[in-house]
Amino acid sequence: LHVARERPSKVGTMLVVDHRIPRQDRDAGARSTFQYVKWFVERGLRVTFIGDDFLRHAGYTDSLQQLGVEVLHGAWYRRNWQDWLRAHGPDIDYAYLHRPQIASKYLGAIRKYSRAKVLYFGHDLHFLRATRQAELQGSHRLDAEAARWRALEFGLFESCDVIYTASDVETREIRRHFPDSVVRTIPLYLSDGVAKADDDFDSRHGLLFVGGFGHPPNVDALEWFLREILPLVRRALPDCSLAVAGSNVTDGVRRLAGPVASIHENVSDAVLEDLYRRSRLAVVPLRFGAGIKGKILEAMQWQLPVVTTSIGAEGLPDAENYLAIADGADAFARRLTALYRSHPDWLRQREQGRLAFNRCFNKRRAAEILGQDIALAVGRRT
């Protein structure tokens, strides 16, 4: 920790705050956060990380510290983070705040004790996600929750210096309400390219769903798929099975899974890679949500064709060129079955996905966008 603190920086210091240390093998948001922190270090920034739970999260904290990141964790920092900020705030050039409930907690103290440029990344528009869930489920409680998220997020959009989103749809939505704010779309993932893949259509079998079940859209999506879509698919493809990889699997999902769906909980990267390499299609049957969906990008990175909904595809440029998109159980099942059977269409979608991923989700593009707001060292690998 002290080595990280004392390491000189050529371009500045950054404080990154999120709800916890990124567990990059557990969910898309954590993977994105970890990739950006690693990239900031590569580009010459000295980075300090605060996870709002202040827990060490063995292994994950080590991953950050091995990069040279100073990680504030433990009971003392939980009680005294404002004292730390009072002492070190003058040295902070950038504060990169994640998620509305976390950013709103830390923003006041950062403004009070530093002159840092405040950058905000919400991961998605929480009010938009909650509004869509309320409409789908007809819930007045969720209507009220959406209103609370809206008030919280709109306050941040007014107060932060730069707002980042991962979706052009969300960038336009924010600009519609705050035309004078600086709002930019950044890549959710920073990749060195897609995984190598052979033409192995015939050796691949079954479907794959990846997602953390602490996220309500994923719970709804998989329960809907198991209840209404998979039975239709299995009428046409009797041997088609489903593999589910995720964390915090709910009892409802377990009950619906039955013998046709295998559940792989808290899998390692190696196990997840194996699932991607032996499945024929990824399914992302989201009925509500917001932002770019990391599970789609991850499947594209593994060159696994995806069947999804309009909500799942939202925000991805020209998504119809490389995703199979269908809404409603019948339409989704038909589209999935057709792609599952068609070797030429499967290869075409895989190739278009490869091209789109390499074009849109790379470090060079991130440097072009974030370089407008952050001093980045030149001459480093991007």
Please give the full DSSP string across 168-221, using - where no structure is assigned: HHHHHHHHHH-TTS-EEE--S--BS-PPP----GGG--SEEEE--TTSHHHHHH
pLDDT at 380: 43
Q: Which two tokens stand for residue 53?
A: 């739970």
What span, in angstroms and rounded, lies between the C-alpha atoms of 152 and 147? Answer: 9
| CA 118 from centre of chain | 21
Virtual torsion, Cα 290, 291, 292, 298, nearest 10 deg: -70
SS3 category, 102? helix
Q: HSE of 367 in the Cβ direction (CA atoms, 13 Å)?
A: 16
Q: What is the DSSP string of 351-382?
A: HHHHHHHHHHSBHHHHHHHHTTTS---SSS--
Cα 297–186–136 angle (5° rounding)?
Answer: 60
Q: Six-digit token pair at 356? A: 């789109």
CA proximity to 15, closest of 87, 117, 163, 99: 117
Instruction: Provide the pLDDT for residue 379.
Output: 42
What pLDDT sits at residue 378?
Answer: 54
DSSP lists the bridge partners of residue 158 as: none
* DSSP state letter for 116: P
Question: Residue 192 CB: number of other CB atoms within 10 A?
Answer: 9
Reading the block at residue 331, the tokens are 């339409």
Which amino acid, 26?
R
For 142-178, b/e burial (b = at least 16 CB within 10 A) is beebbeebbebbeebbebbebbbbbbebbbebbeeee
Query: How confident is the model at residue 106, as a pLDDT?
Result: 98
| Strands (DSSP E) found in the chain | 13-18, 46-51, 70-72, 94-98, 117-121, 162-165, 183-185, 207-210, 242-246, 261-265, 281-284, 306-308, 324-325
Q: What is the pLDDT of residue 362?
A: 84
| pLDDT for the residue numbered 26 | 79
Give per-10-residue mean pLDDT for the chain (382 aa).
Answer: 48 95 86 94 96 94 96 98 98 97 98 98 93 93 95 97 95 96 93 82 96 91 97 97 93 90 91 95 96 92 97 94 98 98 98 93 90 75 40
Q: Which residues pair with 13 in a beta bridge?
A: 46
* Cα 34 to Cα 43: distance, rounded to the nearest angstrom: 14
Which pair of tokens denotes residue 237? 């493809």
Q: What is the pLDDT of residue 337?
A: 99
Write down all domains in the chain, each with its CATH number in brackets: 2-123+160-188+362-370 (3.40.50.2000), 201-360 (3.40.50.2000)
pTM: 0.85
